[in-house]
């Protein structure tokens, strides 16, 4: 899809595993793409194979984003199947929410929770807003990575 005046921004996001931030993926995504698109790129980038529900949490820029503040003050953007999840609170549809509509700024932090049972938490840091469109050949796209992705379901010792 060609970029237009409203979608010409390319966002570069660093997605790190919470609790193990040395494992990360840097993802470039267009402003007209959705949080659902970002979820799918994260899912693929961390070599997951079993789909689950997910939620993105954004806090007001004046609030330090932690898991606790995300639950209390954060705006939630969830998989369509989790929109009525009372445990995680009221949410907007991530599949319909564009990246540009979030009005992100550099250094802003987003929390992403994948799989409400196993709780795969990720810290997403906005590294660049309005990156060069030649940053990647297609979007969304992993443009850098560090560390091996852990197994989605680690083998437990007997």
91 secondary structure, DSSP code: -
pLDDT, tens only, 43-65: 999 999 988 999 999 977 767 77
**More confident site: 68 or 110:** 110
pLDDT at 1 over 50: no
Q: What superfamily would CATH give domain 10-146?
A: MM3350-like (3.10.290.30)
Contact 76, 90 (CB under 8 A): yes
Q: CA–CA separation, 141 vs 66, rounded Å? A: 27
Give DSSP secondary structure letters for 106-156: TT-EEEEEE-TTT-EEEEEEEEEES--GGG-SSSSEEEEEESPPPPSSPPP
The two beta strands, 92-93 and 75-78, are: parallel
**Is the Cα torsion angle 91, 119, 144, 105 positive or negative in sign?**
positive
Averaged confidence pLDDT in the chain: 87
**Is the Cα torsion angle 134, 136, 140, 146 positive or negative in sign?**
negative
pLDDT, tens only, 26-40: 999 999 999 999 999
Q: Give residue limits of the domains in the chain.
A: 10-146
End-to-end Cα distance, the chain: 50
**Is the Cα torsion angle 73, 17, 27, 12 positive or negative in sign?**
positive
**Is the Cα torsion angle 26, 8, 102, 65 positive or negative in sign?**
positive
pLDDT, tens only, 69-90: 777 777 899 998 887 765 556 7
pTM over 0.75: yes
Predicted local confidence at residue 88, as pLDDT: 55
């Amino acid at each position: 899809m060609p970029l237009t005046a409203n979608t010409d921004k390319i966002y570069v996001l660093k997605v790190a595993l919470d609790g193990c931030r040395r494992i990360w993926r840097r993802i470039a995504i267009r402003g007209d793409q959705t949080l659902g698109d970002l979820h799918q790129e994260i899912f693929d980038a961390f070599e997951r194979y079993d789909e689950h529900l997910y939620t993105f949490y954004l806090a007001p820029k004046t609030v330090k984003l932690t898991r606790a503040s995300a639950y209390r003050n954060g705006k939630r953007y969830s998989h369509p199947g989790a929109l009525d999840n009372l445990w995680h609170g009221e949410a907007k549809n991530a599949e319909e929410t564009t990246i540009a509509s979030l009005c992100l700024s550099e250094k802003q932090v987003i929390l992403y929770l994948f799989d409400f049972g196993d709780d795969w938490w990720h810290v997403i840091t906005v590294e660049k807003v309005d990156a060069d469109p030649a940053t990647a050949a297609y979007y969304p796209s992993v443009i850098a990575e560090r560390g091996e992705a852990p197994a989605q379901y680690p083998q437990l010792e007997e």
